[in-house]
Chain A
Amino acid sequence: MAEPVVSLRDVRKAFNLGLPNETQVLHGIDLTLARGEFCAVMGPSGSGKSTLLNIVGLLDRPTSGSLCIGGRETRLLDERALTRLRGHSIGFIFQYHNLLAGFTALENVAIPMLGDAGFFRDDMAQRASALLESVGLAKWRDSMVTQLSGGQQQRVAVARSLAMDPPLLLADEPTGNLDTKSADAVFELLRKANRERGMAVLFVTHNPELAGRCDRIIQVVDGKIRG
C-alpha cells in the first residue's frame, strides 16, 4: 500500500505548558490521510480544528505524539528542515488575509516558487500564469490583489497553494466568509486539484453541504476525533 501523505499518532497539544493556565487542546489525535483523499474537518469553534491544522501544516509542534509527512517523521527536524518541508509538501489556504497586499495576483502565486529558488525565473511566471488561468483569473493576473473581490482573492490563494505542486493542501475555512456561489467555486477548484493532481486535502468547514461532498468527514470535538 502507498505511503500515507499524513499520519498522526496520539498527537497531543497543550498551551502554556506547566503554567497555572495550562490548557490541553488536543487529546491524542490519530489520523491518516491517503494520497488523493479529500477529507472534511468539522466541529464546533474552539474544538481544536485550527490547532490540528497548524500542527499538520508544521506551523506548530505537538506537545507529544508522532507526525509523519510523506512518511517522514517530523519530531526531530529542526526549524530549517521544517520550513523546507512545509514549502515543498504543503499548500495553505486561510480564511482571511491570505495574500500579500502589495503584490499582483501573479506575484502572489509566484511567491512560494520565488522564495524557494531565491531568484526569479521566467518559467515561474509561466507556471503562475497557467495556475491563474486554471482558477479562471487569467484576466486579473497583473491586478493588485487588493482590487479583487473576496471570492477572487480566495481563488488566487488556491492557485498559490498549488504553486509548488505539494502532495497536501490545508484549507482552514476557505469558504467561511464567501457567498454561496463563490464558496462553491472555491470548493470545486480544490476538488479539481484533488482529482487531477492527486493532492490530499484537509478541508475545515462549518458548511454541512460542502462537507457532504468530501470523501470523508471527521468530527473534532473537545480535542478528539469522533466518528
Chain B
Amino acid sequence: MKSRWLPFEWIVALRFLREGRMQTLFIVAGIAIGVAVIVFMSALLNGLQSNFVRRVLTAQSQIQLLPPKEVARRLGAGSALEDAVVQAPLQRLKSIDQWQSVAAQVRAMPDVEVVAPTASGSALAIRGEASRAVSVNGIDPALYFLIVALPEKIVRGSTRLTPGDILIGTDLASDLGVGVGDKLRVSSASGGDQTLMVTGLFDLGSKPANQRTTFVALRTAQSLLGLVGGVSSLEVKVKDIYAADVIAQRITAATGVEADSWIATNAQFFTAVQAQKTSNTTIRFFVGLSVAFGIASVLVVSVVQKSREIGILRAMGISRGQVLRVFLLQGGLLGLLGSLGGAGMGLVALLLWQRYALNPDGTPLFPLAIEPGLFVASLLLATLTGLAAAFAPALRAARLDPVVAIRG
C-alpha cells in the first residue's frame, strides 16, 4: 500500500475510482467539458462586459455631482390668486455651492477613489473664417486623468495643460486645419475670449466627440465661462463601479448636492449589462446542475456494483460513517479531477480565442478576463458540487444491509 499517509477512506475511494476506469474516465470527461464551458464562457462574457463598461466609462466619470437645477416657484402659491402658467426656468451655468468643502467631504468617503473638479460649458473655436461650436472642459489634469484615461487617447502632441493650452479632438483639428503648436481662438457666450495653443490631439473613438470635445486648464475654463473660482461639476471615481448607484445616493444624502451615477445616466446600457450577467449565471447554474446529476448517477451505479464489497467491508467492522465518507470522497474527487481537466481545457480555448479572434488590424477583439480567481472558484465549486451530488448515493451505500449486500 504505497499511499500510506492517506486515511482509510481515501485509499478505498481512490481504489474504487481506479477500478471503475471507464466510468471514471467518462464522468471526468463530462465534468471537464462542463467546467470548460463555464470557464470559457465566464472569461469571454466578463471580458466582453468589462470592455463595454470600460468603453463607456473612459469618456465619463462614474459619479457626477452637479449644481441643483433652477426651479420656478409659483407666484402666490396657496392663495386665491394663482398663476396658471409656470414657465420653465433658464438653466444658467452655475457653480456648485461651496464646492471645495463638498469635494473634501466626498473624498473622505471610504468607497471614493478620486474627486476631480471640472468647469464645463460651450464656446466657439475660431480660426480665421472657420468656427465650430465646442464644449470646453476645464480640468485639473492631475486628478481628472485618474478618472478618464485621456493620455491613452492622445494621438499627437502631449497632455500638457498650462493655462494657455488646449487639447482638441482629431476631427476638430482637421475641420479647423490646426495641428500641434498652432493657435486657436476660443470665445464663449459670456464674453470670455482667449487664444490658446493646441498642445495635443486626441481620438475618443467617435466622430461627434472628436469634433466637440476640448480640454483646457481649470483656471482657463473658469475665466472663459465667467465661472471664476467655481466649478460646474465634480467628477468622482469609486472603487466598485457597480456600487456607483448606492454611493451616489449616499453622496447626495451627505452633501445635499445632486449626484448622478453612470448607472443612472446609462440606464439602458446598464440594463443590458445586467441581463448579460443574469444569463451568464443561469447558464452556469444549469451546466453545474447537469454536472451534479452526472456525478450522482455514476455513483448510484457504482454503489450497486460495489454493494457486495460494501457488505464485506461492513462485515470487517468498517462503520457506516466510513462507507459514507468513501463515497462522498469519490464524488469530491470526481469533481476535482473533472474541474482540473476542465480548467485546463477552458484555458486552452481562451488562449486559442485570443490568438485567432482578431480585429482586422491584428489586435484581439477585446481583452479576455483570464483571472486566477475564476479557475480557483471553478475548482472549488465543482468539488463541492461533487460532494453534494455524492450525498444521496453515499447515504444509500452506508445504509446497505450487509446481509443483503453480501448475499448479492
Which residues of A does B touch, CB under 8 Å?
Answer: 54, 57, 59-60, 79-80, 83-84, 86-88, 92, 94, 97-103, 106-107, 110-112, 114-122, 125, 160, 164
| Cβ–Cβ < 8 Å partners of B315 in chain A | 57, 59, 86, 92, 94
**Cα(A110)–Cα(B4), bound, Å:** 12
Which residues of B does A touch, CB under 8 Å?
Answer: 1, 3-8, 11, 15-16, 18-19, 308-309, 312-320, 322, 402-403, 406, 408
**Cα(A60)–Cα(B405), bound, Å:** 12
Q: Is the beta-carbon distance between B8 and A114 smaller than 8 angstroms? A: yes
Q: Is the beta-carbon distance between A54 and B403 smaller than 8 angstroms? A: yes
**Cα(A8)–Cα(B8), bound, Å:** 34
- Beyond A60-B403, A92-B315, A119-B8, is A102–B16 a contact (Cβ under 8 Å)? yes
User: Which of B15, B322, B408 is close to A103, meaning CB atoms less than 8 Å apart?
Assistant: B15
Interface class of chain B by DSSP: helix
| Cβ–Cβ < 8 Å partners of B1 in chain A | 106-107, 110, 114, 120, 125
When C-beta atoms are compared, the residue in chain B nearest to A80 turns out to be B319
**Cα(A116)–Cα(B5), bound, Å:** 15
When C-beta atoms are compared, the residue in chain B nearest to A116 turns out to be B317
User: Which of B4, B8, B15, B312 is close to A97, meaning CB atoms less than 8 Å apart?
Assistant: B312
Q: Is the beta-carbon distance between B316 and A101 smaller than 8 angstroms? A: no
Q: Is the beta-carbon distance between B317 and A84 smaller than 8 angstroms? A: yes
Q: Is the beta-carbon distance between A115 and B8 smaller than 8 angstroms? A: yes
A-B contact count (CB 8 A): 84
Q: Is the beta-carbon distance between B11 and A83 smaller than 8 angstroms? A: no
| Cβ–Cβ < 8 Å partners of B320 in chain A | 79-80, 83
Which of A57, A86, A102, A110 has most chain B Cβ within 10 Å? A102
| Cβ–Cβ < 8 Å partners of B7 in chain A | 118-119
| Cβ–Cβ < 8 Å partners of B309 in chain A | 100-101
Least distance between A84 CB and chain B CB atoms (Å): 7
Least distance between B322 CB and chain A CB atoms (Å): 6
Q: Is the beta-carbon distance between B19 and A101 smaller than 8 angstroms? A: yes
Q: Is the beta-carbon distance between A59 and B313 smaller than 8 angstroms? A: no
**Cα(A119)–Cα(B11), bound, Å:** 9
Sample 7 A-B pairs with CB under 8 A, ordered by A number: A54-B403, A80-B319, A84-B319, A86-B315, A100-B312, A111-B318, A118-B7
User: Which of B15, B322, B403, B408 is close to A115, meaning CB atoms less than 8 Å apart?
Assistant: B322
**Cα(A92)–Cα(B15), bound, Å:** 22
Q: Is the beta-carbon distance between B403 and A100 smaller than 8 angstroms? A: no
**Cα(A88)–Cα(B318), bound, Å:** 11
**Cα(A185)–Cα(B135), bound, Å:** 104
User: Which of A84, A87, A118 is close to B8, meaning CB atoms less than 8 Å apart?
Assistant: A118
Other A-B pairs, 12, CB within 8 Å; known A59-B403, A87-B316, A115-B322:
A54-B403, A80-B319, A83-B317, A83-B319, A94-B315, A99-B312, A110-B1, A112-B316, A115-B316, A118-B7, A119-B7, A121-B4
